[in-house]
Amino acid sequence: MLAANLCPAVLLPTEILAEIFIICLPNQQPNGDFYRIVENPRTLRSHEAPLLVATVCRRWREVALSTPRLWLSLILDKNGSRDNTGVVLSWISRSQPHPLAFTIIDPLASTQTLQELKSHCDRWGLVEVVIPEGREWLFDDSFAEAPRLERLHLISDADSISALLPWHQLTRLTCEDLTDLECIETLRKCPTLIDCDFIGYETPRSGEAISSVLPMMLPRITSFKIFGDSTVDTLRLLELPSLRSFETVVNSSAGDGEILISFFARSHCRLESLCLGWIDTHDLNRCLPFLASLVSLKIRTWHEILDDQMLRRLTYDSAVLPNLESFHMNLDLRWYDQTLTRDFMRDMIMSRCLGVDSIRSTRLNTFRLVYQHSRDEDHTSLMELAAELKPLLDPKMVEFTISPDSHEWV
């Protein structure tokens, strides 16, 4: 009789209730450049999950505290209490025996708390950490004693390349503030890398110095992102035959286009996803023959990339990008400066979205144009094109975002 009056959730077996808690954990919103390695790290705040779950009732608390998968990740940020050593200790204990995943972006985090994390370095699996100047000693030897560490995002004012790290076991790595020579040195130490992000200084390149460095092939890397003037020359020395996803910024005026084309030709990779920043029409045209396997293409540029020649190449009566399913462009320029004909633009979009009967063609699932116009600009022609396409295509297929304040990276 009593059971009949209880809430159904109370009657659930412990294993089912624990699984519901795990499934219902909220997604953590990105914080700037973080959460590249540790997805959805959990905060130490009592009004957020998983601590919030433990405050509902005694049974929920018992289930939550005895479910290690609820406590696999945590974040130490500026918004939490810095006197949290006890909470961190309990958190680490509850997550046993699984590998730990944590993000530290609070430069003033308690030394005692950090020492507590250090004492469990044998369980580190995914780590994202900012090491401010003057506190390098906190992690001076910890990483070398981390046998389970596979993924690392390291931001440090110290020389991270010479740090004691288990480079040979890393499968995913993000490093910031590197030169091209430091990128090469790092890659040589990481034979098992699958996913790699390098963010360089905005400083002069190494120039002739890199020409004396031996090239290398890294057969395992499937995802590679590289940004910054100081790092792009790294591509001169790389061969990545398994690469499937690639992202970079191209300074065409500095000859980056030639570096990029040579990299594609040398790697013989079957790229599926490509994101390019600031490439011009000439360099994009030269890249297209190497991109037949591409499924997703994203471009952000201020160059006049949408001329009639480019639109004709992209229209589905040619063999260019035959497998493309997603095409996003972010254009920071004046629409009326574009040397294109609206009809060519319409034909390109229609042929890609609807396909062509005479050839076996993959259709676009999404075409997205993000266009930043000046506040005094008359962009009527673009609006008319959008209105013309609207009744002909599925609204989920084509999107035009026209705004003077659109600075998003597609």
pLDDT 10s digits, 73-88: 998 887 655 668 888 9
Placement of tokens 């609807």 in the chain? 354
Q: Does the pLDDT value for residue 392 go beyond 80?
A: yes
Report residue 337: phi and psi, to 5°.
-85, -10
What is the pTM (predicted TM-score) of this model?
0.86
The pLDDT of 354-372, averaged and rounded, is 80
Percent helix / strand / coil, the chain, rounded to 5: 35, 20, 45
DSSP letter, residue 220:
T
Tell me what percent of the residues of the chain surpass a pLDDT of 70. 80
Q: Given pLDDT bands bounded at 50, 70 and 90, which one contains residue 379?
A: low
The pLDDT of 121-129, averaged and rounded, is 92
Q: Does the pLDDT value for residue 261 go beyond 80?
A: yes
Q: Given pLDDT bands bounded at 50, 70 and 90, which one contains residue 64?
A: very high
- For 405, residues 6+ apart whose C-beta sits below 8 A from its C-beta are 372
The pLDDT of 43-70, averaged and rounded, is 91
Residues pairing with 368 in the sheet: 328, 399
Q: Given pLDDT bands bounded at 50, 70 and 90, which one contains residue 125?
A: very high
Q: Does the pLDDT value for residue 2 go beyond 80?
A: no
pLDDT digits (tens, 9 = 90+) for 91-114: 999 999 999 999 888 767 778 888
pLDDT digits (tens, 9 = 90+) for 214-249: 899 999 999 999 998 778 889 999 999 999 999 999
Q: Where are the alpha helices (DSSP H) in 104-175?
A: 111-118
- Torsion sign across C-alpha atoms 224, 34, 367, 326: positive
Residues pairing with 355 in the sheet: none
- Torsion sign across C-alpha atoms 176, 179, 180, 183: negative
pLDDT of 405 reads 56
| Tokens read off for 8 | 């159904």
pLDDT of 296 reads 97
Q: Is the peptide bond before 204 cis (omega within 30 degrees of 0)?
A: no
Other CB atoms within a 10 A radius of the CB of residue 371 amount to 21
Angstrom distance (rounded) from CA 43 to CA 387? 45
DSSP letter, residue 30:
P
